[in-house]
Structure formats: structure tokens, C-alpha cells
Structure 1
Amino acid sequence: MEIKLLNGVVFKDPELRIREYCEIEIYEGYDDQHNISDNITKSDINAANNLFATIDRYDKEESSRIIQHKVIADKLHAIPNAELHSLDKDDWIGITLKIYDLLNAFLSLKGIGLGKAFKILHLKRPKLFPIFDSFVVDFLLQNKSATKDAKLGIMCVDIARKDIINNLDSFKVLTGSLSNLTIPLTIVRCYDILCWTEEKWINRNNLNTPKRIAPSKSLHITGKAIHPLSGPDIHSDTYKVNEQPLNNLIKLSDPKRSKKEMMDIDFNGCKSVRDKLKAICMRLGENGRAFDKQEIIRYAELFEIKRGSVLPSDWCDNTVSGQDRSKKNPFLHSLGKSRYILLK
């Protein structure tokens, strides 16, 4: 059983690594505290703090702000406790927006970053959300900043989904092998434990643990893949927030298409290289699903797509055709049979 991640890291014995984590890091007091509901409770806060969320440590009102922020419960209600890998492309596109809104609800609160948010969210949706604290974010994105950026959180969840899908058989065998643990672990939790321990124990050589027992059994189980699953066009720079937001959208939309394949499109109406990149990126609609105006605008905001961006035809109402479509949707301007410009 071997697990190979998009960044090239290979776990040759993931079971040994996770068992060692459970022996010496925080396990009881957090992983036995799942609370699948929409409302954040004090028990959720306490469990997250058992995993060093540090909520209320420097500001005693943090937990109150989280618990009383009803927008979080509303946004969480729209998100199922579904296995992350089980979401097909159509479902994933819709849930991505919902997760983005949910993260923004958390991050709008003073003192709350991605680590605190995801340590709570895993308890509420343990099959869907891995835990993305600073260690895991650094491991996945090689980015040590922007912990209050919801887009960065979306990128992490998307990478996790791809990694799990690419290694689904191994993860299923892994969770089966770990079924005799005192507290069951979901696939996404196994995933974040592997990432977290690799960053902390290996990359940072931080061997301090709550039980004061240094890890030793599984330090040797990882290596680098000669040919990473991600292919030559997926690398750490792709995911650096604020550097290549357009490339980020390519990776979120269709990881199986290479940049060369992406270039095989009609660039009519594109006045600059940046416009061409936008045209390449606007492949999210390729799955045949129609998007309404609000979804288009929210995607545009999410990925910093400005007015003048080229959109594929199925980003607008697919019940009308040709020029009538742009008339019905005044925020679009037709570029011909299948391409449109975002005006507003």
C-alpha cells in the first residue's frame, strides 16, 4: 500500500505513520468529538482547542463570536457530510462556492484563520473536510502566509480531493487496516495526518510531541516520486496565492488537461496575453452545466476574473441560443456561437 501525492511525496507505509501519530500526538479528545450539525457549540470549540486551535487564548471573545455568528450555521447547513472523493465534477463545482462562502464567514471574524476554521469544520463534517492548519497549508502550497485567505483554503481542499481520488484504493485499504484503532479515522483525516506529520516531523524536523515521545518508527517511510502524478505542469508555484490566480483556476477546473491542450481554443476577442489566459481558464463550464448570473459573478470574484473576461457558452442560460442569449443576459456580450464576454 503506497500513497503518492500531487507534490511528488510518496508514503510507502502510511499505516505505520498514522499509527505513530495516534500514539504520540493529539488523538483522544479531538477525533472522538465529531458533532455533525450546523450550529457551532462550546464543545466544538473545546475539542478544536485540544488540537491547539488556541481559540480564546489571546482574545476571550473569539469563541463567542464564532458561536453567535449565525451566518456560519446557515452556510454550513448547505454543505453535506459527504465523502470528499465521492463528489462528482458537477457536485464539486457547486460545493466549492458554498465552501468559499463558509470560509469567508469564518475568516470575517477577528482572530480566526484557516487553521481554527478547519479544526472546527472537520468536527462538523468529518468525511468532507481535512484539517488545514499552517503545517498542512505549507506542505501543500509551500506558502507560509495568507492564512485568512478563503481562496487558499479552497485550493487546499481541491488538492486534497485530487490526491484522495488518485489514491482512493490505497486510502480504502488504509482505513480498513486502521479499523482496530480505538477511534475511527475518516479518509480525509488520514490524509491530513499524513501531510501534517510530513511537514512537522520531516520538513521542519520538529520532533516535539504532547506526550514527550519523539517520533521514530515512521520517519523513514516517505520519498519523492520520480514521476509525480500531477504531471510537469502542476508544481508548487501553481498554488502560490496571489501569484498565479489564473493558473489556480485551470488546476481547479480540470486537472487532467495539460497547458498545451488548454491552448487549443479560440482566442477571438482577446486583446492581450492576460485575456488569453482568462479564456483558457474559463473551462469550468465544460461539464455542460449551465450557470446563472449570480454564480458567474461569484466565480469571477473568487478567481479575480475582471470585466472583459471570455466565458464559454454554457456559463449562461442554455435555454436560449445565439444572440438572444446575450440579450436575455445583459451582463454578457456575444463573441459568436460559443463565446461570451463578462461585462458586469
Structure 2
Amino acid sequence: MTLLTDIASLDAIATLADSLPVADERAAAAATARQASLTKPPGALGRLEDLAIFLASWQGTDRPVITRAQALVFAGNHGVCDQGVNPFPQEVTAQMVANFETGGAAINQLCRVAGADLSTVALDLDRPTGDITLTAAMSDEDTLRQMRRGAEAVAADAQVLILGEMGIGNSTVAAALSCAAFGGDAAGWVGRGTGSDEAGLARKVDAVRRAVARHAGVRGAAMLAALGGREQAAICGAVLAARAMRIPVILDGFICTAATAPLFDADPRLLDHCLVGHVSREPGHARLLDALGKTPVLALDMALGEGSGAALALGILRAALACHNGMSTFAEAGVAGG
């Protein structure tokens, strides 16, 4: 994927929307017409109809298919853990990556059921990012490098891309990115993550407040360098690469969605091809979805990460296409009323 190879600065990310593919309105209109001809009352399949039309608009055909779904889980470690924001040590990130690679995690089971090819990309786990309460998480150069790594991981033959993450401390990073992008007090964005107690929650809120204040005024993709992490940068790179290849993206929960907030801040159009698989139990996620104007596919009271909610949403997309492509029209079925 060459989209980001010529990008020399994070500020240039904001210029990409003008040159990236957009939804195919003709294909969407044709898919909408097909929905109207199927043997059901108009609108009876609700959101399933909308999802089929959405996929049609990005595949450029009134009969979209998913023959290959790719799932990518990016993993990184965070210097803000020095502030006591997580009850688990950062060694858990590498241990969970090993669990993904041997098939033992929830995401492995959900991808198998949903029919998605899963890969894990570990991003310099022995080198945590800078502590965002004291300094920038990454240099601009490192941020762009991680974005390119994310972009290069996207398979050109996929019809849909599932994105997930793993990283001890990254719910604090997600809250900081959300707070920086959309404002409000840090407490409204911070949740318990992997199980922080009251004292741990207070440390998270304090860390987010200090980090956002330290990097006040940073906007757009530069927020990734200031407040993000390597997995957040890789997620953004994958999102942009998928857009260049007209591949719809299913984002996972709070952390994965928050990773894309810098892209939205740079230009909201950069997320037009993205769905959000579910609304997380983390309290900031529903607020974040409102700010992004995104409606989640599912609401199952989950807060695991890993891409788990996005993988479940893939099953809904497959169901939407099964109905869209497999149902008879009124004329084909000889049913009156079409």
C-alpha cells in the first residue's frame, strides 16, 4: 500500500480526503432499488437494508459480496502506564499477542465463527511510547512509520476489514484522544478499562487531564503523535489504506474508535467508509459515537477490545448480504404487491 509513502508530515493527512475514493452513489441507488423489489414490506429488514446498501456503495455494485474478510489486531505499549493507570503490567500485552497467535483468545473464536482471516501486528512492544503526561507519545516520524505499518498490513483482496487492538494502558490513551478531539472534562471520557478500582480510576482521570492540558492546541493527525500510541497510529494507517482500496472498515469498541478521532478531526470525510461494530460498556464510547455521528451495529454490553465486537458485527453484515443477494424479487417469486 503506497498511499502514505509520499506523506512527509502529519499535517498532510488532512489533504487526503480530496483524492481518496468516495461512495458510489449509482451503486447505492441500484442496491436501494433492489431492496424495494424484494419479497418483503419496504424497510422491513431495517438496518440490514442500510448495511447492504452501504457495502454496495463501496464495492461499486448493486450485488456486494464478502468472499474475504480480514481482521487485524495491532498491539502496542504505553509510557503513561508509569502513572499507575492500569492494574496489569505491560508484559501482558506481549502475552496476549502470543495468545492471539496460538488461537486462544476470544477474537480467535469470533473470527473463526464469522469467517475472517486474523493477523496480529505487534508494534515495538519492548519500546513503550512516551508518557503523555510529560511528553509526546511519539515523534512525527515514528507516528508516520507506524501508520505505514498499519497500511501495509491491509490485504488488497479483502472486501471488508475488521480492526482491533491490544495494549495495556490504551483505554487511558483513548480517553485522552477523545477528550482532546471533542472537549469536556476528562472524567466524562474515562472508564475502568481492564478493571481499575476507585483509586486507579482517579489516577486515570488525573493522567488524562494533565496529558490533554500539556498538549492543548494540537489538532488533526498530530494528536496521534502527542497523545496516541503505535497501535492507534497503525489503525489510522489501515483505515486510510482501506479507503484507498474501497474496502469498508468495521471499527471495534472505544479504544479502536478513539484511535480514529485524529482522522475525523483532520477531515470527517476520512471515516465515511467506516462502520462501528458495537457500542462498548466503556462510558466514553457512546459519547464518542455521538460526536462522530456513527451508529453502532450491535449493543451487547461488551468491553473486551481485540476486535471482538467488530467480528460479531461481520456476521450481521453477512446476514444483510445473504438477504440482499439471495431473496427473490416480487416478480421472480410471482408474488403480488411488488
* Alignment TM class, shorter chain as reference: under 0.3
Give the TM-score normalised by structure 1. 0.27
Give the TM-score normalised by structure 2. 0.27
Which structure has the greater CA radius of gyration?
A: 1
- Higher relative CO (Cα under 8 Å, sequence separation at least 6) belongs to 2
